[in-house]
Amino acid sequence: MMTGSTELLECPLCDFTVLPTDDYIIQLHFEQVHTTDSPFRIEDDPEDEHPPPLPRRPRTALSTTDAQLTPASDEDQNTVECPEPDCGESIPLSDFNEHLDYHAAESLSFDETTGEYRSKNRAKMHGPKPSAHHAGSSKPSFLEHNLNIELPDALRRHNDHARRSKKRGQRGRSDTMSSEKSTLSRSIQTFNPFAQPNRVKPPSSNCRLGRAELGPYAWEDRMPKWLHDQLAAGPKITLVNRIGRDGRLIKQESVQNETPGIIPILAQLSALDRTVKEAYYCHPSTLHIGKTPKEGGFCGYRNIQMLFSYIQGSRAQGHKDFPGRTPGILKLQDLIERAWDKGINTIGRQQTGGIRDTRKYIGTPEAQALFLSAEIDCAVQMFSDNRDGSIEAHDSLLAAIERYFAQAAVSDGSNVYKTLLPPIYLQQPGHSITIVGFERRRDGTGNLMVFDPMYSTSPAMHKLIGRKDIKAPRPEVLYAYRRVAKQLRKHAAFEILMLTAHPPLFPVWDVGSNPAPSDHNSTQH
Q: Given the rule CB under 5 A, which of 4-12, 123-131, 197-205, 293-301 is the region that contacts Zn ion?
A: 4-12
What gap in Å lies between CA 95 and CA 295, rounded to an integer?
19
- Indicate which residue of 37, 95, 101, 452 is catalytic: 452
Whole-number minimum distance, CB 503 to Zn ion, in Å? 34
Active site residue 299: yes
Q: Cα–Cα distance between 13 and 188 in angstroms, integer?
A: 37
Toward Zn ion, which CB reaches closer, 335 or 433?
433
In angstroms, what is the minimal distance from the CB of 124 to Zn ion? 9
Q: Is 14 in the site for Zn ion (CB under 5 A)?
A: yes
Q: Which stretch binds Zn ion (CB under 5 A): 3-11, 209-217, 248-256, 408-416?
A: 3-11
Amino acid at residue number 50: H
Closer of 119 and 373 to Zn ion (Cβ): 119
Number of residues that bind Zn ion (CB under 5 A): 8
Buried b (16+ CB within 10 A) or exposed e, 351-366: bbeebebbbbbbbbbb
Nearest approach, Cβ of 30 to Zn ion (angstroms)? 6
Nearest to 165 by CA among 97, 98, 79: 79
Q: How far apart are CA 435 and CA 105, in angstroms?
A: 18
Segment near Zn ion (CB under 5 A), from 9-17, 146-154, 197-205, 270-278? Answer: 9-17
Among 9, 10, 13, 151, binds Zn ion (CB under 5 A): 13
Give me the least distance between CB of 25 and Zn ion, in Å please: 11
Position 123 contacts Zn ion (CB under 5 A): no
What are the DSSP calls for 432-474, one per residue? Answer: EEEEEEEEEETTS-EEEEEE-TTSPPPHHHHHHTT-S---S--
Q: What end-to-end distance do the CA atoms of the chain give, in Å?
A: 62
Residue 184: half-sphere exposure toward Cβ, Cα within 13 Å: 26
**Is 452 a catalytic site residue?**
yes
Does the protein bind Zn ion through residue 102 (CB under 5 A)? no
Which residue among 99, 319, 431, 520 is the active-site one?
431
Please tell me whether residue 11 binds Zn ion under the rule CB under 5 A. Answer: yes
Of 299, 385, 394, 491, which residue is the catalytic one? 299
Positive/negative CA dihedral, 309, 312, 317, 318: positive
Stretch that binds Zn ion, among 5-13, 329-337, 463-471, 490-498 (CB under 5 A): 5-13
Looking at residues 31 to 90 of the shown chain, list those that interact with Zn ion (rule: CB under 5 A). 82, 84, 87, 89
Q: What is the rounded CA–CA span in Å between residue 392 and residue 398?
A: 10
Distances (CA, A) of 267 to 17, 303, 310, 478, 509: 47, 21, 17, 10, 10
Closest approach of Zn ion to the CB of residue 225, in Å: 23
* H helix runs in 116-171, sequence order: 142-147, 153-169
Our CB check for Zn ion shows the closer of 82 and 370 to be 82
Under rule CB under 5 A, residue 22 binds Zn ion: no
Stretch that binds Zn ion, among 12-20, 157-165, 194-202, 267-275 (CB under 5 A): 12-20
By CB under 5 A, name the one of 7, 16, 73, 171 that touches Zn ion. Answer: 16
Q: Are 107 and 84 in contact (CB under 8 A)?
A: no
Q: In this complex, which beta carbon is closest to Zn ion, that of residue 291 or of residue 418?
A: 291
Beta carbon of residue 457, minimum distance to Zn ion (angstroms, whole number): 15
Question: Whose Cβ is closer to Zn ion: residue 80's or residue 496's?
Answer: 80
The length of the chain, given as a count of residues:
525
Q: Contact, 263 vs 437, CB < 8 A? A: yes
- Identity of the residue, 89 or 95, whose beta carbon is nearer to Zn ion in the bound complex: 89
Question: Between β-strands 276-281 and 9-10, what pairing exists: parallel, antiparallel or unpaired?
Answer: unpaired
Q: For Zn ion, which is the closer residue by CB, 7 or 84? A: 84
- Residue 18 or 311: the one with the smaller Cβ distance to Zn ion is 18
> Nearest approach, Cβ of 161 to Zn ion (angstroms)?
15
Give the whole-angstrom CA distance, residue 253 versus residue 234. Answer: 14
Q: Between helices 299-314 and 364-373, what is the axis angle to 10°? A: 30
Applying CB under 5 A, the residues found at the interface with Zn ion are 11, 13-14, 16, 82, 84, 87, 89
Q: Which residues have a catalytic role annotated?
A: 299, 431, 452
